[in-house]
Structure 1
Amino acid sequence: MLNAADLRVGQEFSAVVVEDLTRTQLVMYAGASGDYNPLHTDEVYATRVAGYRTVFAHGMLTMGMAGRMLTDLVGVDALLAFGGRFRSQVWPGDTLTVTATVTEADTEGGTAELDVVVRNATGEPVFTGYARTRCATS
């Protein structure tokens, strides 16, 4: 758990959550989530029918990886809210880095607000969002 007194607005926490995302990981996520949309697993459908360059990751896979970074940072029980917006596709081969930036630290209330950004290897944001976490106050 983070300590609110140790946090500063603008402070960043960052972690690589996947290196070289594989098609196998996309298929595994489809099976785990029950989301079998062929855009994520069927190369012929994604390219010839839908017109994409290849299959791409489920948005919720990207958000789930960001959520895992946050729970690793603050603890499962301390994460109070998490949400965001999908900005761009995540492709096989992508490496994703999550950065959580402190936007507010309430030392009296014991909470912190974070901006969350997931970027691919070229620095393009693929997910942007927010998180609120409980913090220790001593």
Structure 2
Amino acid sequence: MSKLVPLIRSITQKGSASGTMYIGHVVQRSAARPDALKIQTSKMVLDRNLKKYFSGRKFYWAEDNSNDCLIGDIVLIRSLPKNLDKKRVTHKVDRVVYKLGCVVDPVTGRRCRGTEFEDEADKGTEKPLVIEEIK
């Protein structure tokens, strides 16, 4: 089973009372605050003149108290309450959905690298990169 199905179920059971949630990937770590991360999210934006949706990007600063996020991880962020006195950091990392390099196909549940599946049984039988040495 996919990791996203239980994730979506847990989000819908919690409801929207706990804040707005976005999914995105970690782009940058703050130099001034090591627990602050810059998260890039994508959203489809409607162009009313062309009547067509285009992909738009938005960046959020989120705090990561556990410091287990790395650049490139796909994370789920939740908005913080408005009464906090934080100017830049407006969200917090709820959970890490996928670590960098550990992507799982949501349909089959198998790990994949790019467009090909990565089977655990075939790791020892991979073809070598160098077939023969040139003398």
After TM superposition, the score normalised by the length of structure 2 is 0.27
Q: Looking at CA atoms only, which structure, 1 or 2, has the larger radius of gyration?
A: 2
After TM superposition, the score normalised by the length of structure 1 is 0.26
Task: Identify the structure with the greater helix proportion.
Answer: 1
Q: Which has the higher contact order (CA 8 A, sep 6+)?
A: 1
Task: Identify the structure with the greater strand proportion.
Answer: 2
